[in-house]
């Protein structure tokens, strides 16, 4: 069988670049498409000399014709941290809507399997806990987070429409909080924020009471799940994330332990519509692929902390 070609939009981003690594390792050709708005070329620098890897500097919200065969289209382009998508609100809506439309168009033309990176944010501030795929969500359609949440909900809708109307071979992954090396230190999400604060001996910023919960998945576990979903025939949305749930205060304590120092806490207002709880029900992924995350939070945070520490030293 000839080598498979994978187009990854957002390929220079946090999760996208780990996917590039994985598909290159698996012997595929990788076309990495990114407009570098929140992605970073340093994430794929080590791949640029590889003859099976190609970087395309382009915004997928605009039309593009890609030459040659493509077997998989993985649509990962989007700002993903709340401060990024609130600042880049129109771009976020466009990449979820027009970008998904264009990526689906490529999959249709190439008869490729399509995988949409969706999000636990489609569940909004969930009233069902843990979240199962059949839950329709509790989203404020006009609030500050809506630019991301509704863009992804539209992206899911158009993906299913392309499946029904154009018979494109589609899949949808709903990604829960993911962390690991190559997150941007200043992207505003809680894990890089706390690590940055610990590295620079600043107080940890706790939004609200800190009793809100999240379930954090190490990036390697997620990538493993994405590859299984891409290579399968599953078409219905699938949750992927680590079902171990922690409060933000518990996360702060862990970061303190890992950094080996006492850190102050400073309270900040809870952002509007910040979900109070979030935890994936991963029974579907378990049943289909026997997939379950392996890396415990403490271990993954340790690896991530070490990576950020090294980045700082290299500066």
List, by residue number, the catalytic residues: 148
Which residues of this protein are in contact with ligand UDP, per CB under 6 A? Answer: 81-82, 177, 189-190, 193, 205-207, 212, 214, 248, 270-271, 274
Task: Compare residues 247 and 309 and give the one whose CB is closer to ligand UDP.
Answer: 247
Angstrom CA distances, 170 to 108, 111, 131, 268, stand at 10, 10, 22, 41
Q: CB of 186: closest distance to ligand UDP in angstroms?
A: 11
- Check if the beta carbon of residue 43 is closer than 8 Å to that of residue 182: yes
Q: Provide the minimum distance between the beta carbon of 109 and ligand UDP in the complex, in angstroms, as a whole number.
A: 34
Residue 245 or 274 having the CB closest to ligand UDP: 274
Closer Cβ to ligand UDP, 131 or 170, answer by number: 131
Longest alpha-carbon distance in the chain: 58
Length of the chain: 315
Output the smallest distance, CB 92 to ligand UDP, in A: 13
Q: How far is the CB of 310 from ligand UDP (least distance, A)?
A: 22
Evaluate whether 170 touches 238 at the Cβ level (below 8 Å): no
> Which of 146, 198, 197, 154 is closest to 172 using CA atoms?
154
Rounded to the nearest whole angstrom, what is the least distance from the CB of residue 185 to ligand UDP in the complex? 12
Location of structure tokens 């129109």:
90
79 vs 225, which CB is nearer to ligand UDP?
79
Which is closer to ligand UDP, CB of 17 or CB of 193? 193
Backbone dihedral angles phi then psi of residue 300, each to the nearest 5 degrees: -65, -40
């Amino acid at each position: 069988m000839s080598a498979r070609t994978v187009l990854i939009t957002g390929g220079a981003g946090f999760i996208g670049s780990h996917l590039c690594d994985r598909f290159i390792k698996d012997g595929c050709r990788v076309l990495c498409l990114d407009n570098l708005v929140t992605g970073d070329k340093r994430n794929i620098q080590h791949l640029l000399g590889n003859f099976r890897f190609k970087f395309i500097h382009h915004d997928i919200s605009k039309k593009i014709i890609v030459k040659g065969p493509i077997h998989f289209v993985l649509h990962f382009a989007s700002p993903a941290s709340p401060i990024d998508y609130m600042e880049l609100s129109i771009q976020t809506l466009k990449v979820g809507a027009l970008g998904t439309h264009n990526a689906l168009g490529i999959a249709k033309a190439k008869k490729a399997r399509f995988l949409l990176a969706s999000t636990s944010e489609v569940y909004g501030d969930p009233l069902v806990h843990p979240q199962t795929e059949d839950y329709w969500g509790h989203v404020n359609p006009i609030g500050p987070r809506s630019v991301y949440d509704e863009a992804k909900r539209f992206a899911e809708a158009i993906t299913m429409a392309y499946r029904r109307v154009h018979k494109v071979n589609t899949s949808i992954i709903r990604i829960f909080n993911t962390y690991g090396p190559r997150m941007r230190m200043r992207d505003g999400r809680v894990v890089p924020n706390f690590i940055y604060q610990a590295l620079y001996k600043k107080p940890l910023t706790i939004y609200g009471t800190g009793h809100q919960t999240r379930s954090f998945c190490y990036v390697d576990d997620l990538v493993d799940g994405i590859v299984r979903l891409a290579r399968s025939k599953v078409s219905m949305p699938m949750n992927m994330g680590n079902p171990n749930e922690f409060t933000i205060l518990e996360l702060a304590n862990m970061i303190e332990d890992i950094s080996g120092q006492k850190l102050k806490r400073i309270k900040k207002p809870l952002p509007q519509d910040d979900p109070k709880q979030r935890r994936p029900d991963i029974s579907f992924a378990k049943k289909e692929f026997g997939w379950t995350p392996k890396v415990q939070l403490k271990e993954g945070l340790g690896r991530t902390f070490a990576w950020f520490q090294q980045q700082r030293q290299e500066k």
